[in-house]
Amino acid sequence: MFIYSTSWLLIFSTVGYIVSCAPSPRSTACQSSHTDFSQGLGGAWSEEHGSHQGWEITGEGLVMTLTKPPGVVTKIDPNTNLPFNDQLASISPTFISSTMVRYGKITYVMKTADTPGAVTAAILKSPEGDEIDFEMLSGGGDNVQTNYFYGPVPVYNVNKQANSLGSASASFHSYTIDWSPSAIRFYIDGNLIRDSPNPNNCDGSNGACNFPTHASYVKFGLWDASNPSGTAQWAMGPINWNSSPSISAIIKSVTIECSS
């Protein structure tokens, strides 16, 4: 994630959600599962904020949509001389698993958004602040970034890697996080793109590690990265709502394989 951006989940928490029901109860016990979203959310998933807007179930899977904020204006930040939008999409759909994972393999099958400034994300996130993620940026060859963070204060631009995937928004691809006590391995369509070892095999039993070690929720979502200006630049935005009044990404399935 770009240094100007806080956690994408923090950004989600500040946008205007319309809450219609509470999320499902969650468990710390990992459960291996496969969810085909063309059949619905099943019992394993809920929209994190209880919103019934900004997403729908279709024959292709779960379609997440950003819509143009009324009266949005693109401005120039006088401090950075970079463009940004003065409003964000009011709903950035975010989904969370009902159970947690501490080590295992998680595979997302997704078709990402195709508009610069919109970010499609697949994430493992712990209450303690640990995070492992894919973030798919539209434009410029469909840039796919992988990141991991540890502890309550994330350090950006240290444990990241970028890869180009020219058809991320044109067709479905699988994105796999294989998280073990010894390493995090990232795969696209079954091909290893990154192997990040755990320094000194730290397991957290003797204090903080420079590696994610806490049980985490599985999440995915679509968010508007048009503000602030530094985040918009990182996401190749801001979103040009005049050419894209509605922006969608589709998640076909998620497979969770627990290892502990």
pLDDT digits (tens, 9 = 90+) for 225-249: 999 999 999 999 999 999 988 999 9
| 56, 60, 131, 257: the active-site residue | 131
Q: In the chain, which ranges are continuous DSSP H helix?
A: 8-14, 229-234
Q: What confidence score (pLDDT) does residue 224 get?
A: 97
Strand partners, 191: 188
Mean pLDDT of the chain: 86
Q: What are phi and psi of 11, to 5 degrees?
A: -60, -45
56 carries an active-site annotation: no
| 47, 56, 60, 135: the active-site residue | 135
Q: In percent, how much of the chain has pLDDT > 90?
A: 69
Rg (CA), the chain: 17
pLDDT-derived band of residue 109, with 50, 70 and 90 as boundaries?
very high
pLDDT surpasses 70 at 11 = no
pLDDT in tens, 198-230: 987 887 777 778 899 999 999 999 999 999 999
CA distances from 61 to 1, 32, 33, 254 (A): 26, 20, 16, 11
Q: What confidence score (pLDDT) does residue 67 get?
A: 95
CA distance 96 to 62: 13
pLDDT-derived band of residue 4, with 50, 70 and 90 as boundaries?
very low
pLDDT in tens, 155-197: 655 566 777 777 788 899 999 999 999 999 999 999 999 999 9
pLDDT surpasses 70 at 43 = yes
60 carries an active-site annotation: no
pLDDT-derived band of residue 51, with 50, 70 and 90 as boundaries?
confident
- On the CB side of 4, how many CA atoms lie within 13 Å of its CA? 15
Peptide bond connecting 228 to the previous residue in cis, omega within 30 degrees of 0: yes
pLDDT surpasses 90 at 132 = yes
CB 176 within 8 A of CB 104: no
CA angle 105, 193, 61 (to 5 degrees): 55
Lowest mean pLDDT across 7-21, 23-37, 239-253: 7-21
CA distance 22 to 25: 9
Average pLDDT for 74-99:
96
Determine the distance from the C-alpha atom of residue 158 to the mean position of all C-alpha atoms in its chain, rounded to a whole number. Answer: 18
Spatial neighbors of 160 by CB under 8 A, at least 6 apart, are: 1, 145, 146, 147
CA distances from 168 to 64, 67, 224 (A): 15, 21, 18
pLDDT-derived band of residue 100, with 50, 70 and 90 as boundaries?
very high
pTM of structure: 0.87
Average pLDDT for 56-73:
97
Instruction: For the chain, list the domains and their CATH numbers.
Output: 8-16+32-258 (2.60.120.200)
Q: What order of strands is seen across the sheet that includes strand 45-47?
A: 45-47, 94-101, 216-224, 118-125, 131-137, 143-149, 160-164
